[in-house]
Chain A
């Protein structure tokens, strides 16, 4: 069957994860297999994307059980786009991992768990069943616990405990929300819930379940009062792990929010006001957090929080223009945030530190590399015609049309503060002379690496930068895609009809 294509990314990652387990002790072999596996997953994701792009929403009913009863996998445009982005980010990070993660960590099944994480992410994007979504979230957090604590340094474990505690708490709340919702409508298929929730008379309970979902997904996507676990944990694991966490783990929370609040609780006025308030506060707190940090990894972490606010706010506006902006921003953000953490890993390899006070003179010694790094940094700020510029136009336009001037102000504030912090980072890390510090002697610096190893370090950054450039200069295509996704999301009967085959 041709629509089985949408489920192939899952199958590929599961297969490679098991295959890597069979070669537990052969680390060098695992590196090659993981890269090949991610390359295949990338090809399959492109294939699935093209198939859905041409033929519309595809569904797979697992176990051949018809839609409202069995678990369905739904490949609509949003899902396959995110699967494609996961594959791109996963490929880049897997190449980066082969060189940047030390052998002591790789020995404990790093690559196998990495594929499991990607499996969980793909599953979460593709599933059409809300309990199944919970199960994929569990797979994601269990694999991410392993990745965050592998190596077992002291501060790493401290971060892991915080991450573990809050994410488990979020899962519990998610499960409670599921229980309330199932009690109301008696079905778990998201399309079916969407039809049946309109008939529920007890609107208070519907609202309660919506708020529970908001809290559960809010913790995972690090929105305003619930983000404190993120700065405490994301900088502790190796850069490759941080990169995949930053690029995808918080975005899967955003995806779940988008899915649930467009399909199930569409356009509820109390919820949109609440979401908008949270979005504004998220932008402010993330932006202010980014200013005072001196560690570039921590700066990027606060940027994650700040820019989550952009997407949540766009979702709260709940118009087609805003939604197109959100989707475009999501596409831009996944690639750019993954790339930023890879860059921080690269800078660490060059200078053995990620502290801005100790860094400097990068432009004088590595002009070409600095130019490469400048592109994602400027894209993050949103200098036209780079990728961060286009979604912000849609978002600003939508907020202006909806006369939400507070959110409009927050958007401007968020963009401005990004500009200021990136300017500070650029002058501190790249233009300033290298301050006199004692470089650690027992450290393999970038210069001491062989040419092939250097290439492996720079290639993933260059690859993601190329994708960013495409998003910026090919903005027409991405904008068309975002508008199509936004149209599908706002008219959710398309999704429902495809799933229930009406």
Chain B
């Protein structure tokens, strides 16, 4: 699928889709969206890039093996889960929130970091699966 249209479109679509995935991630606390969907959108951005420019170039953009995102994401989610135990003396997985919301991002709290963890795990898992399949074909 090396068409010139897809190739030029994808070079614009990759950053736009990544930005969109971050938007979905951040709106997810009360509205539809969140880490899982955001992660899938981000994964699709890289898959589209791999379609048009080839797998090797996409791997060059990613720098790490996509599998590496999974433990990193899990670790972030894990730390957000135990942070109330360590910081506030509250039971596991209690949401702790900053008092003042930050413009654009919104309220910051431990659930946001959990969602970021999910986002990374989803990117890692789906890209590992897709890249492994496309390598073996």
- Which residues of A approach B to under 8 Å, CB–CB? 1, 4, 7, 11, 14-15, 18-19, 21-22, 24, 60-64, 73
Indicate with 1 or 0, residue by residue over B74-85, a CB within 8 angstroms of chain A CB atoms: 110010001011
Which 7 pairs show the lowest CB-CB distances between chains A and B? A21-B71, A64-B94, A22-B71, A63-B93, A18-B74, A62-B93, A62-B92
Q: Are B85 and A15 in contact, CB atoms less than 8 angstroms apart?
A: no
Nearest chain B residue, comparing its CB with the CB of A22: B71
Chain B contact residues: over half helix, strand or loop, or mixed? Answer: helix
C-alpha spacing A64/B110, complex, angstroms = 14
Within 8 A of A (CB), among B56-112: 67, 70-72, 74-75, 78, 82, 84-85, 89-95
Tell which of A4, A19, A21 touches B92, judged by Cβ atoms closer than 8 Å: A4
Q: Are A62 and B74 in contact, CB atoms less than 8 angstroms apart?
A: no
C-alpha spacing A7/B95, complex, angstroms = 17
Q: Are B75 and A61 in contact, CB atoms less than 8 angstroms apart?
A: no
Minimum CB–CB distance from A5 to chain B (whole Å) comes to: 11
Neighbouring A residues of B85 by C-beta, 8 Å: 1, 4, 11
Q: Are A63 and B78 in contact, CB atoms less than 8 angstroms apart?
A: no
Q: Are A21 and B90 in contact, CB atoms less than 8 angstroms apart?
A: no
C-alpha spacing A36/B98, complex, angstroms = 36
Neighbouring A residues of B91 by C-beta, 8 Å: 1, 4, 60-64
Of B71, B78, B84, B94, the most chain A CB neighbours within 10 A belong to B71
Minimum CB–CB distance from B120 to chain A (whole Å) comes to: 12
Q: Could you list some 28 contacts between A and B, CB below 8 A?
A: A1-B90, A1-B91, A4-B91, A4-B92, A7-B92, A11-B82, A11-B92, A15-B78, A18-B74, A18-B75, A18-B78, A19-B71, A21-B70, A21-B71, A22-B75, A24-B67, A24-B71, A62-B91, A62-B93, A62-B94, A63-B91, A63-B92, A63-B93, A63-B95, A64-B84, A64-B91, A64-B94, A73-B92
Nearest chain B residue, comparing its CB with the CB of A59: B91
Nearest chain A residue, comparing its CB with the CB of B90: A64
Minimum CB–CB distance from A21 to chain B (whole Å) comes to: 4
C-alpha spacing A19/B74, complex, angstroms = 10
Neighbouring A residues of B92 by C-beta, 8 Å: 4, 7, 11, 60, 62-63, 73
C-alpha spacing A7/B89, complex, angstroms = 14
Neighbouring B residues of A63 by C-beta, 8 Å: 91-95
Minimum CB–CB distance from B127 to chain A (whole Å) comes to: 15
C-alpha spacing A360/B97, complex, angstroms = 67
Neighbouring A residues of B67 by C-beta, 8 Å: 24
Neighbouring B residues of A73 by C-beta, 8 Å: 92
Chain A contact residues: over half helix, strand or loop, or mixed? Answer: helix
C-alpha spacing A60/B90, complex, angstroms = 10
Neighbouring A residues of B72 by C-beta, 8 Å: 22
Nearest chain B residue, comparing its CB with the CB of A72: B91
Q: Are A21 and B74 in contact, CB atoms less than 8 angstroms apart?
A: yes
Minimum CB–CB distance from A116 to chain B (whole Å) comes to: 11
C-alpha spacing A22/B71, complex, angstroms = 6
Q: Are A1 and B89 in contact, CB atoms less than 8 angstroms apart?
A: yes
Nearest chain B residue, comparing its CB with the CB of A71: B93
Of A7, A19, A62, A63, the most chain B CB neighbours within 10 A belong to A63
Neighbouring A residues of B71 by C-beta, 8 Å: 18-19, 21-22, 24
Minimum CB–CB distance from B58 to chain A (whole Å) comes to: 21
Of A1, A18, A62, the most chain B CB neighbours within 10 A belong to A18
Of B72, B89, B91, the most chain A CB neighbours within 10 A belong to B91
Neighbouring A residues of B82 by C-beta, 8 Å: 11
Neighbouring B residues of A61 by C-beta, 8 Å: 91
Neighbouring B residues of A19 by C-beta, 8 Å: 71, 75
Neighbouring A residues of B70 by C-beta, 8 Å: 21
Nearest chain B residue, comparing its CB with the CB of A17: B74
Nearest chain B residue, comparing its CB with the CB of A8: B85
C-alpha spacing A73/B74, complex, angstroms = 22
Minimum CB–CB distance from A95 to chain B (whole Å) comes to: 24
Neighbouring A residues of B90 by C-beta, 8 Å: 1, 64
A-B contact sample (9 more), CB < 8 A, given A15-B78, A60-B91, A64-B90: A11-B85, A11-B92, A22-B71, A24-B67, A24-B71, A62-B91, A63-B94, A63-B95, A64-B91
Neighbouring B residues of A62 by C-beta, 8 Å: 91-94
Minimum CB–CB distance from A182 to chain B (whole Å) comes to: 22
C-alpha spacing A7/B90, complex, angstroms = 13
Minimum CB–CB distance from A109 to chain B (whole Å) comes to: 10
Minimum CB–CB distance from B137 to chain A (whole Å) comes to: 20
C-alpha spacing A63/B93, complex, angstroms = 5
Neighbouring B residues of A15 by C-beta, 8 Å: 78
Neighbouring B residues of A7 by C-beta, 8 Å: 92
Indicate with 1 or 0, residue by residue over B116-128, a CB within 8 angstroms of chain A CB atoms: 0000000000000
Minimum CB–CB distance from B136 to chain A (whole Å) comes to: 15
